[in-house]
């Protein structure tokens, strides 16, 4: 928050809480139905690729990190990640399909631990901070 304005957010799952139970995911299904069967199948394949990239050990999962464009490059993302690191009771894991994010995450201690091709060919980068 900056002067009462939300400028960034980090969404993470504490160690041992990812993946969420399937019954909690079911509430999102109706939103996908208008996209049609091909999009639904692609989304399920993408989720499967993401899940295979998760480490076998207990970890905190950063599912989303975002900063408003007008507030980027001011250290807000780093501050949000620092908070995740402070509270983490296990190594921290994330994935990104944006290759430009890899050096950014490396600069805060993440190491690339793998890559995988997503359904439409983009590369998904898996990164862990021990």
Q: Distance between CA 32 and CA 79 in Å, rounded?
A: 33
For residue 101, what pLDDT is reported?
Answer: 96
pTM comes to 0.89
d(CA 102, CA 95): 9
pLDDT in tens, 53-87: 999 999 999 999 999 999 999 999 999 999 999 99
Separation of alpha carbons 21 and 119, rounded Å? 24
Identify the structural domains of the chain with CATH numbers, from first to last. Answer: 8-129 (3.40.630.30)
Question: Residue 2: what pLDDT?
Answer: 61
> What's residue 22's pLDDT?
79
Contact yes or no for 80/10 (Cβ under 8 A): yes
Check residue 43 and give its pLDDT.
86
pLDDT (mean) for 96-107: 97
């Amino acid at each position: 928050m900056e002067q009462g304005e939300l400028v960034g957010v980090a969404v993470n799952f504490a160690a041992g809480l990812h993946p969420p139970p399937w019954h909690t995911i079911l509430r999102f299904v109706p939103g996908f139905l208008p996209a049609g069967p091909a999009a639904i199948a692609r989304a399920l394949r993408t989720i499967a690729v993401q899940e295979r990239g998760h480490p076998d050990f207990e970890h905190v999962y950063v599912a989303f990190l975002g900063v408003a464009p007008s507030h980027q490059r001011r250290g807000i993302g780093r501050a949000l990640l620092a908070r995740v690191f402070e509270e983490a009771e296990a190594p921290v894991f994330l994935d990104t399909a944006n290759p430009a994010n890899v050096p950014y995450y490396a600069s805060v201690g993440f190491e690339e631990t793998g890559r995988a091709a997503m359904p439409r060919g983009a590369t998904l980068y898996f990164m862990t901070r021990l």
